[in-house]
Amino acid sequence: MKSLLASGPVLWFLFLFALGLGLTIGVDQVAASLGLHGIGRVLISGMLALISLGAGANLLRRRLPALHSAAKESS
């Protein structure tokens, strides 16, 4: 499972899917059609935002060493 979560395509999927679903649930009409009201909607949207932030942070952490070495080479 750890190797699956470390792969780039899976991280991109988690980042984009959780972000899109979290934003979609935040819309009143979508949340009402799913039966989500009040604090339930906020909690689910917040949890999806945390998943998206975690995947995005991992993607960014993987990119930073490459960006840092490229900046050193150009100096």
Tell me, what's the pLDDT at 62? 84
Q: Percentage of residues in the chain with pLDDT exceeding 70?
A: 88
Structure confidence by residue, pLDDT tens digits, 23-41: 888 777 877 888 888 888 8
Q: Is residue 67 pLDDT above 70, yes or no?
A: no
**DSSP for 17-28?**
HHHHHHHHHTSH
- The whole-number average pLDDT for the span 4-33 is 86
Instruction: Determine the angle formed by the axes of helices 39-74 and 8-25, rounding to 10 degrees.
Output: 140
Q: What is the mean pLDDT of residues 43-68?
A: 87
Instruction: Kindly report the pTM of this predicted structure.
Output: 0.73
